Amino acid sequence: MRKYHKKNECRICSSQDLKLILDLGKQPLANAFIKKENLQKYENKFPLRLYLCKNCFLLQLLDIVDKEFLFKEYLYLTSASKPILNHFQKYASEIYNEFLKEIKKPFVIEIGSNDGSLLKEFKKLGTDVLGIEPAKNIAKMANDIGIPTKSNFLNQNIIKKNSLEKKASIVVANNVFGHIEDLKEFMKCIKLLLKNKGIFVFEVPYLIDLIQKLEFDTVYHEHLSYFSLRPLMKLMNEFNLEIFDVKKQKVHGGTIRVFVAEKDNFEITKDLKELIKYEEKFGIYKIKTYEKFSDNVKQLRSELQDKLSKFKKEGKIIFGYGAPAKGNVLLNYCKIGTQFLDYILDTTPLKHGLYTPGMHIQVRSDITHQELSSQQIALLLAWNYEEEIIKKENEFMKKGGKFLVPIPIPRLI
């Protein structure tokens, strides 16, 4: 099976005028946690490099790991992160109240529906639902809790083969759009699945947050595109669609929820007009913004390494808090291994007992607070949940334990 290929043109506008912005080195897949018995085996590593299209300003990866290899068994479980579940509850009720309440038998399709956590919320509101989720192990979990889920990558053949004739009022895709290599085929499918006047709602991490907060560790092989509005608008335009609204969200370090429909069906909102202006002002369409970002990431790496070495010399015990995919990018890029971290705590049962890709640090389940002493420093790899985690771990902090938050500038709290 082929595992990898290199593209040489932009995913949206096909321009070959591409500039290398950040090279994160050769990295293993960020979610490829390893069983103990496989630690000695060969680990696949692929270049991880960010390129900017100088024509349409899509920031993207061009080193593409084939999706069959990347997603065949997946360890990311939406339901493992409570803040995401809260987000989904609110998400479903907002969409329902705004667009579905008046419809007789509303039907929602979710692409990349993971374990069915969001669709479950739509179902509770009385909506018919269907999930499409490529990871077989996870699609099964959704089916087991009563969320009908097809285990496939979305493409036009699959729509035909599964006779997905019932059209949806809403198609949602959460944190999926950035994972799609063939965005044009994807948009053709969305059009096939949507009813007349239907709405495509998707959430993607927002590029301005990535740049501003130096969230370089959210760059990994699964995430092929990093979006601001201009390239998205260009893509939608090709399909006679338009973005009519956008809402900023806190999840995943800063996300935008984007609303798309056939042109002229909905009024363009004030929020959208304002965000377009803000992007220009921020300089997201200027190359020097990206050059500065790249310099800052390099500086962050050396600051973090210096801080960890200093703590180690002082005899502190350091462990990782959370084993997200992004944590692995950070650990691999900054070369933080067992010389610094004794173990990593994570709440995802599927990850327990496994070792992190590349750096081979063991992931463990929650340790009781009694075991945590004042000598300890937790490197907060799941920095996107800083607020929740700090609240949850006040016992640890009361005992003198500290969190080291790695981005945007390593700081102790």
Element (H, E) at 394: helix 394-398
Alpha helices in 196-341 (DSSP H): 207-212, 229-238, 270-282, 287-313, 325-333
Order of strands across the sheet with 402-405?
363-364, 341-345, 317-321, 376-380, 402-405, 411-412
**Cβ closest to ligand TYD, residue 114 vs residue 127:** 114
**Cβ closest to ligand TYD, residue 56 vs residue 323:** 323
Q: In angstroms, what is the minimal distance from the CB of 101 to ligand TYD?
A: 30
Among all residues, whose Cβ is closest to ligand TYD?
324
* Phi, psi at 51, each rounded to 5°: -120, 150
**Residue range at the interface with ligand TYD (CB under 6 A); choices 33-41, 150-158, 185-193, 379-387:** 379-387
**Cβ closest to ligand TYD, residue 166 vs residue 392:** 392
- Binding residues for ligand TYD, rule CB under 6 A, total 19
Q: In angstroms, what is the minimal distance from the CB of 406 to ligand TYD?
A: 13
**Cβ closest to ligand TYD, residue 18 vs residue 378:** 378
Q: In angstroms, what is the minimal distance from the CB of 143 to ligand TYD?
A: 22
| Calpha distance 148→129 (Å, rounded) | 7
**Cβ closest to ligand TYD, residue 284 vs residue 381:** 381
Instruction: Determine if 76 is a binding residue for ligand TYD (CB under 6 A).
Output: yes
CA distance to 111, 204, 294, per residue, from 180 (Å) = 11, 12, 24
**Cβ closest to ligand TYD, residue 150 vs residue 326:** 326
**Cβ closest to ligand TYD, residue 243 vs residue 377:** 377
**Cβ closest to ligand TYD, residue 128 vs residue 388:** 388
101-107 long-range contacts (CB < 8 A, ≥24 apart) are 103/169, 106/169, 106/170, 107/166, 107/167, 107/168, 107/169
Residue with tokens 């419809």: 103
CA distance to 188, 321, 344, 352, 355, per residue, from 367 (Å) = 48, 11, 10, 12, 17
Q: In angstroms, what is the minimal distance from the CB of 5 to ligand TYD?
A: 24
Instruction: Determine if 406 is a binding residue for ligand TYD (CB under 6 A).
Output: no
Q: In angstroms, what is the minimal distance from the CB of 345 to ligand TYD?
A: 6
Binds ligand TYD by CB under 6 A, chosen from 304, 382, 405, 407: 382
Tokens representing 352? 């327990």
Q: In angstroms, what is the minimal distance from the CB of 84 to ligand TYD?
A: 6
Element (H, E) at 140: helix 136-144
* Phi, psi at 167, each rounded to 5°: -85, 150
Q: Could you list the beta-strand ranges (E) of 350-412.
A: 363-364, 376-380, 402-405, 411-412
Type of residue at 268: I
Site for ligand TYD in 285-344 (CB under 6 A): 322-326
Instruction: Determine if 348 is a binding residue for ligand TYD (CB under 6 A).
Output: yes
Chain positions contacting ligand TYD, by CB under 6 A: 76, 80-83, 322-326, 346-348, 382, 384-385, 388-389, 392
